[in-house]
Amino acid sequence: RAKSAGRDRCAVFDEAMREQAVRILDLEADLRRAINGDGFVAFYQPIVRLSDRSVIGHEALLRWRHERRGLLVPSDFIGLGEDSGLIEEVDWLLYAQVMKQLALGGEGYVSVNVSPRHFRAADFADRLLRMIDEAGADPHRLRIEITEGALLDDVPRALRMLRTLRGHGVLAQLDDFGTGFSALSYLHRFPIECLKIDQSFVAGLVGETRPESVAVVRAIQALAGTLGIHTIGEGVENDAQLAALRELGCAYGQGYLFGHPAEAYSTPLRQAVSR
Ligand code: C2E
Ligand code: MG
Ligand code: MG
Ligand code: MG
């Protein structure tokens, strides 16, 4: 009995693995198709000044409108895109949409995410600048979001890249800050506009769950103060987190409390854009 149950379990396991493999292959084929179609769209989430909730910019977030599976978020497919090298192509599609949006006018900046592997491409900065130029977008209204890892695996190259971009008006912000190895001694060398405090720390500011988050955010604020740059709290979901962030000296935030990612710009940028 035990033996046959084991065999059954094994059969079930094999079947599940087969199905997963098929699903991944399916999705990869879909991904290739979507890249050639119009399956990818930019959603925009507001970034606000915490003191008065005024919108200072938006982060562009990738969404995939899948014909059968509905609206997919990056975690549903980004691993796949990275494994197959397709994510860079998807990124360029998204950046092109953002450029068009910027070229329409409006105010505030739009930040786009750059995966570490993509940032490592030798022609990244040149290609981005060319795209901005061709779209007729204002480079001062575009920002890139990169993670610490992307800076540290080739410091001289990252420095060159960021200086080139900044020289043309494109600023950089460090995403998910506090989750990487935070090589603090290096940070002052990079032209970084702001640090985005990872949402895990914002979540841990309130309640008993992660008391060390307060210490982490305090340390990030001290660091930002030393560097003379500002911070953005990510994933702000309630008033208690908002109050805690302000108390700790964080001036900007992003999160469901202020607005979910949405397909169009929220006010006041939408008015400017649809004119
Ligand atoms: P991220 O850059 O840290 O983006 C913030 C994520 O937090 C977004 O998830 C956003 O929807 C979510 N978020 C915003 N406010 C809240 C909140 O109040 N509570 C909670 N729980 N979550 C909140 P999303 O859109 O699923 O993106 C996940 C990650 O995928 C992003 O993290 C970014 O690393 C990556 N990503 C997104 N768009 C792109 C893209 O165009 N290219 C690349 N390479 N990566 C992207
Ligand atoms: Mg980001
Ligand atoms: Mg982030
Ligand atoms: Mg994050």
Structural contact between residues 29 and 37, judged by C-beta atoms closer than 8 angstroms: no
Give this prediction's pTM. Answer: 0.89
Closest CA to 113 of 88, 131, 138, 130: 88
- Residue 153, pLDDT > 50, answer yes
CA distance 20 to 78: 16
Pocket test for ligand 1, best of 91, 113, 260 (most atoms within 8 A of CB): 113
- Residue 174, pLDDT > 80, answer yes
Condensed to tens digits (0 to 9), the pLDDT of residues 194-214 reads 999 999 999 999 987 778 999
- Residue 165, pLDDT > 80, answer yes
Look at residue 73 in the predicted model and tell me its pLDDT: 93
Q: Which two tokens stand for residue 113?
A: 């995410």
For 267, counting Cβ atoms within 10 Å of its Cβ (0-12 exposed, 13-18 middle, 19+ buried), the class is exposed
Ligand 4 centroid, distance to 114 Cα (angstroms):
12
Structural contact between residues 266 and 254, judged by C-beta atoms closer than 8 angstroms: no
When pLDDT is averaged across residues 51-63 and rounded to a whole number, the result is: 96
When pLDDT is averaged across residues 99-104 and rounded to a whole number, the result is: 93
Look at residue 239 in the predicted model and tell me its pLDDT: 97
Closest CA to 127 of 95, 79, 166, 85: 95
When pLDDT is averaged across residues 119-126 and rounded to a whole number, the result is: 92
Q: Which two tokens stand for residue 257?
A: 């409390």
Which atom in ligand 1 lies closest to the alpha carbon of residue 176?
A: 3
CA distance 192 to 162: 8
Condensed to tens digits (0 to 9), the pLDDT of residues 3-47 reads 455 555 566 667 777 777 766 667 788 888 888 878 899 999 999
